[in-house]
Structure 1
Amino acid sequence: MQIYHDQTDINQKKYFNQANFIDYRTQPRAYKKYPHFYQRFNLDDYEELKFIKNFGKITATKTYGKEKVDLRANPSAGGLYPCEIYIQIRAVKGFISGIYHYEALENNLTLIHELSNDGVEFYFKEKVQRKFVILISNAYFRSVWKYEKRAIRYLLLDTGHQLGSIISALELTDLEYEIDFNFDKNSLNEEFSFDNYESFYTSITVKSDKTNEPKKLRSPIINISACDYQLKELFVENFYKDCQKDEYEKIPNINLLNDIQNEQLENAINNRRSIRAFINESISEEDFLFITKNIFDFANKFGIEIYFVNNNIQGISKGLYKNVSLIKQGDFKDKMTNLALNQKLSGQSSFTLIFTSKVGHNYFYCYILTGFIAHILYLRATTLNLNCSGIGAYFDDSCKDFLETKNNIFYLFAIGK
């Protein structure tokens, strides 16, 4: 994977010499919609399914000139929302067992395949019925349109944020779930008629009482374009293909939000925003410890090494830390601003985390889990009425030099007031 990462880095020369003009009139549609004659079900009408709307619902609307922009429960690089969600549902009283497409803008589930003795579980290693199987795909052209080859990084981060949004919604239930990366993605991509324009990245499965083994899907899913127009980008398609050579362990129920009451968590889901500027005030050490509770240990378990710069946390020495160990003392606000392509957010924050991973270490999955961890941080900070911003654009080599590491740099994440 290193060859792809190296081809998408940003250095000083590349940054100052590249063309910056983007014709926003050409932006592709950021949502997928099946034909009007497909059956649709409003989530508010089914108590057992209401939690699904927290996967990516519209939580606010902003207007820029004549343009209206819908903000969702999950953030997305550039507001491009390349992720799509498909949910297979079984044994919900009064509801048709089938495969559904989640329509965030409409708060609907659209039935795209009614189940018989078949099911998507056939494409998993453990071929047993599940109550819910949630599949996250990416329609890559939505991101490639703006970010070109570097879109591979944002697709993975967006998948992680989407994964975090789904997991936080499941935390509001008593359902047991697993994150599973190792299903037969290529076969399911074919069954869903994606034609390489869209591809599955990960899944979340919820246990069922039944142990029946489903058969393969008895007919392909109809092909619906994920954008109003699309262009091929073989760099992204080859990257995805090469990523499927690796495997990664399942991740069962995750205890990163279980200390937050349901009402607080749902408020955080509704109120989470990406900030554009901080007011440069300090936060307490207690708030820092709450926001990052169990985060460093979880990241290390999966091969993600987190550094952070303390710009303004009371009671902690200013400087650069690896995990929670101080490795460079000093005021690095200006340095962090510079590393983030001169975006002031990184230096104005109370603290900014830098997510990294060793070269060659499960690149695809570590990058997705980076986005996932960042989403958990978003929600924990939001419960304290603190603000966050993910920063996916930075000077790769300069970050490495500052951290004195050979690790790949994945993400900067700023938190503060």
Structure 2
Amino acid sequence: MDAFPDIVAAIDRKLDLLAAHSLTRRLRVADSACAPRQLVDGRSMLAFCSNDYLGLAAHPVVIEALREGASRYGAGSGASHLVSGHSRAHALLEGRLADWLTPHIENARALYLCTGYMANLAILTALGADADSMIFSEALNHASLIDGARLAKAGVTVYPHGDVAALEQQLQQSTAGTKIVVTDSVFSMDGDLAPLPALLALCERHGAWLVVDDAHGFGVLGQNGRGALEHFGLRSPNLVYMGTLGKAAGVGGAFIAAHASVIELLVQRSRPYIYTTAAPPALAHALQASLDIIGGTEGAQRRAHLAALVARLQGALRLERWQLAASSTAIQPIIIGSNDDALRAAASLHQQGLWVPAIRPPTVAPGTARLRVTLSAAHTFDEVALLAQALNQLERATA
């Protein structure tokens, strides 16, 4: 009993250290549906922080499909996919996603998982299960890719952000039996795109897999919203594709699309897939409605509106000290620098009813703390103009 206070004190010292470096995070409680206008901690806010890029999270058609799915399949799945939790809703969704990716991946098959984090762990621990494997990881990859590489038995080497020449040198020098290049498509804190055509050409030349995390591209990029592979017009059996379904698709979960043999390996060997309860089938049912919207006329209109909002924000900002990152996507980071300054800026916006998060290390590099503005097709031009005006005034006021 005497040791217990010492254990707690050790944790408290770690928490105090985070606070001293302005790295403490806090939870805010949303009392309403994900949308630009939200009730947060009991207060009305205009949110520029969700990844609901097409505004489908509160779309009435998707909500009705979720209700219908729950009525048909119940509230939960009851077991893992390989026991009894794999419903017809899961199978239909996987078949449709495989069809969507067939133009880009030979003999494509898809697998639905509970989260994108889990999907990335599944891919890298299965493909990199042998010590004779090497993972070549992009420097700015998402934490889930980093953790997946750590959990794999493969060796890991990191190549600089967007540096195709450095990656080529690493691949040339590698004697690994299995080579796995892994990258985000749209980098979540910068909003820029990976040079996927050049990366794929390297992978084909060196007999490597190219694992693409398209969390922030699926639904938004490409003429039909089918993601980064459609955007760049890529096709190869070397591709292993991960798309999340809780961002632009507005619901939840994620999927992996790859050659059928790769997917079968994941079914047989991937611990994150085998040893977890399947996501509620109602979600998979609702996602069919999301795909209908994404691939149809309404989806095209929403993507066009989103692109216009991005252009409107960029044209309205008049920043002198802060730096708007070079991004053509819905992710529009404003780099401020110090943790304290970023926190103060976010707090000032919050006082004005604008919800824009401050992003600090370790999510971004030290000295690059930022406001991460994310736009949604559900935003209006007037709302974006209001944000731009607030940011311009705030930067001048803090000079």
So what's the TM-score if we normalise by structure 2? 0.28
- Select the structure with the greater relative contact order (CA < 8 A; seq sep ≥ 6): 2
Q: Which has a greater percent of strand?
A: 1
Higher helix share: 2
